[in-house]
A and B are shown apart, each in its own frame.
Chain A
Amino acid sequence: MALKLADYKTEVHNDWCPGCGDFGIVNALQMALAEMGIERDKATIFSGIGCSGKTSHFINTYGVHTLHGRVLTFAQGGKLANPEMTVVAVGGDGDGLGIGAGHFVAAGRRNIDMTYIIFDNGVYGLTKGQASPTLRLGEKTKSLPSPNTNYNVNPIGLAVASGFTFVARGYSYDVRHLKDLIIKAVRHKGLSFLDVLQPCPTYNDINTRDWYAGVDLAQESMERHSRIYKLEDMHFDPMVHYDDESEVNEKLSQALIKSLEWGQKIPIGVFYQNEIISQYSARLTDRIPNYLENPPAKQKISENGLPVTDVSEILDSLRI
């Protein structure tokens, strides 16, 4: 029986603020899962800590709500143990680019076949709106007593530099476009990263829905003028087409340059894609030839409630 969108929803009460950008991301993710027809018990949503952390509870697949900054470690472990499973990790920009920045970079180097979505709103919304890593230097959101003293992390640039092989940005109020991006990201063979601009209506009074829609610009020019535009509409080609250093360098550099655009014009869409770089599973299979046929998830670990691993021989050999 084909699964419907409703099958991917749970009955867990949602306590996000009215108008939160997170709703658009959850909806897009559920729509993407439904459209791809991924069986509910063959997908796991891993989430970090923060408002976005509750995402895994709202989606009716396996769900693992993990630790602050550590979502990628759990998610990579889940995928390594069970390579057939669809794995999507989600978390906030504070979670993934603050405390989790080390894991972010390490994940890029591995290129495990899974997807990471950052809910990017520039504030720590769950803890009353402190400045998070993507808030710009000198900006002062609602609950800051004085302007931000730190320079911002560039998530797209960091992903490209760390080795992510699919790097894109979405906007949480463009749910259909975001859904399509999620599908592309999940189908990408390797580690995909989605930076989703997600207005926090409670604490970020700078990057609001109206700001992204360019309402202030319209007041100046008397015409509707969204800040957001789509890379695909500009015939931007993010794909590394062949295994050649100059081709790779060109696509990496244009992604980095595009990622620096902000202010009047903000690009969304796919910045970079490279399916030539080997996936981690291929690197593992070089060492463990039967890894894909016999991954950890298929191995028996217990019988009659007791572990099957017997270390007594090893312990006996160490006895003095």
Chain B
Amino acid sequence: MLDKVDGEYKRFAFTDDGISPRSRLGLDNGIFWNTGDESDEFGHITEDPQIRIKMMDKRMSRLDLVIKRIPDDEQVVSFGVHDYTIISWGSTKGPILDAISMLKKEGINVGFIQIKLIHPFPSDYVKSLLKNTKIIIDIEANHSGQLGKIFKQNISREIDYFILKYTGRGMTSTEIYDSLKKIVENKANKREVLSHGA
């Protein structure tokens, strides 16, 4: 963010790190244009193929920067990794942790990594966390296992089991516990659908 601008200013200037110094509306000499179409370095609308390529390359190079800038624990939170490890995101976290501690009392260890950054996907980090895991269980509150698809797309590894709930009700620790137990006992379907709640 610029506090002042001297000389010619280009809001979308090509830079080494892919980030251009930012003016704001009303700043002296900081005039720029915005558009929803492709733009040149000033921000003016353009359909020039060469500018398009440079702008897209610049834009997309920031994904690498994002992965470097965001702290690891903001990307993925690991609650332990075992032979059986859960991946999940969002509101399922609480009941998953409760179900894991119920199983632990019975001497069954299940790991859990909570994936917080979906795009850019922290592929290298997730891969390194799960390198010794044998069975990956995706727990999600939707029909299609959305995180599982993104996981497979980025890691090139299959999800072994899905535990899904899409009734509009929150997951309970007991139903997660039941499904995990079936998985450990090798009695589960590849796709376990939860239904607790009236």
B32 near A62 (CB under 8 angstroms)? yes
Please tell me if the beta carbons of B25 and A65 are within 8 angstroms of each other in the complex.
no
The answer to the question of A42 belonging to the interface, with a C-beta cut-off of 8 Å to chain B, is: yes
| A10 contacts across to B, CB distance below 8 A | 44
Contacting pair A301 B1 (CB below 8 A) = yes
Measured between beta carbons, the chain B residues less than 8 angstroms from A81 are 25
CB atoms of A41 and B28 under 8 A apart: yes
Interface string of A67-100 (1 = CB under 8 A from B): 1000000000010011011000000000000000
Q: Are B45 and A41 in contact (CB under 8 A)?
A: no
* B124 interface hit (Cβ, 8 Å): no
Q: Are B37 and A41 in contact (CB under 8 A)?
A: no
Q: How close is A15's CB to chain B, nearest CB, in angstroms? A: 10
What CA separation (Å) do A311 and B26 show in the bound complex?
28
Residues facing B in A43-79 (CB within 8 A) are 44, 49, 54, 56-57, 60-67, 78
Contact A41 B36 (CB under 8 A): no
Check B128 for interface membership: any CB of A closer than 8 A.
Answer: no
* B interface, over-half SS: loop
Q: Check: B95 CB closer than 8 A to any chain A CB.
A: no
Please tell me if A260 contacts chain B, counting CB pairs below 8 Å.
no
Report the bound CA distance from A56 to B34 in whole Å: 9
Asked if B25 contacts A78 (CB within 8 A), the reply is yes
Q: What sequence of 0s and 1s flags, for each residue 111-148 of chain B, a beta carbon within 8 Å of any chain A beta carbon?
A: 00000000000000000000000000000000000000
**Does B18 interact with chain A (Cβ within 8 Å)?**
no
Within 8 A of B (CB), among A302-318: 302, 305
Across the A-B interface, how many residue pairs have beta carbons closer than 8 Å? 58
* Chain B residues in 8 Å Cβ range of A82: 25-26
Q: How many residues of B contact A (CB 8 A)?
A: 19
Pick the contact of A60 from B1, B27, B31, B94 — CB < 8 Å? B31
A258 to B24, CA, bound (A): 42
CA distance A297 to B31 in the complex (A): 15
Contact residues of A between 287 and 305, Cβ < 8 Å to B: 297, 301-302, 305
Nearest chain A CB to B94's CB is how many angstroms away?
8
Contact status A12-B25, CB under 8 Å: no
Nearest Cβ on chain A to B17's Cβ, whole angstroms: 10
Q: A41-B31, A57-B45, A60-B31 are in contact. Are A85 and B36 (CB under 8 A)?
A: no
Give complex CA distance A78, B37 in Å. 20
Some 15 contacts from A to B, beta carbons below 8 A apart, are: A41-B26, A41-B29, A44-B25, A49-B36, A56-B33, A57-B35, A57-B45, A61-B31, A64-B34, A65-B33, A66-B34, A78-B25, A85-B26, A297-B24, A320-B94
Interface residues of A (CB under 8 A from B): 10, 12, 40-42, 44, 49, 54, 56-57, 60-67, 78, 81-82, 84-85, 297, 301-302, 305, 320
> 6 tightest A-B contacts by CB?
A65-B35, A63-B33, A302-B1, A64-B34, A82-B26, A85-B26
**Other contacts beyond A57-B44, A64-B33: 20, CB < 8 A:** A10-B44, A40-B31, A41-B27, A41-B31, A54-B45, A56-B33, A56-B35, A60-B31, A61-B31, A62-B26, A62-B32, A63-B32, A63-B33, A64-B34, A65-B34, A65-B37, A67-B36, A297-B25, A297-B26, A305-B1
